[in-house]
Amino acid sequence: MNQPVSDSGALLGGFLGLSTVTGLILAICGSVLGCQRKIVVYDSRAGLNITCISLISLVPSGIAFGISPVVGWPALLVSAALFGASTVRAFKANRTAWGGVLSVFAKYALLGLVVFCALIAIGGTFAAIDEAKKKRYKQAAANGVAGAVGAVGFVTVRRLINRLITERAR
Task: Name the nearest CA neighbour of 40 among 125, 109, 104, 123.
Answer: 104
Reduce the DSSP state of residue 165 to 3 states and report it. Answer: strand
20-50 pLDDT, tens digit each: 899 999 999 999 999 999 999 999 999 999 9
Rounded Cα–Cα distance for residues 86 and 150 (Å)? 27
pTM, 2 dp: 0.83
pLDDT band, very low/low/confident/very high, at 170 (cuts 50, 70, 90): very low
For 12, phi then psi, to 5°, come to -65, -45
129-168 pLDDT, tens digit each: 999 999 999 999 999 999 999 999 999 999 999 999 987 6
Rounded Cα–Cα distance for residues 91 and 167 (Å)? 16
* Ramachandran area for residue 153 (φ above 0: left; ψ -120 to 50: alpha; else beta): alpha
- CA distance between the termini of the chain: 70
Rounded Cα–Cα distance for residues 19 and 25 (Å)? 10
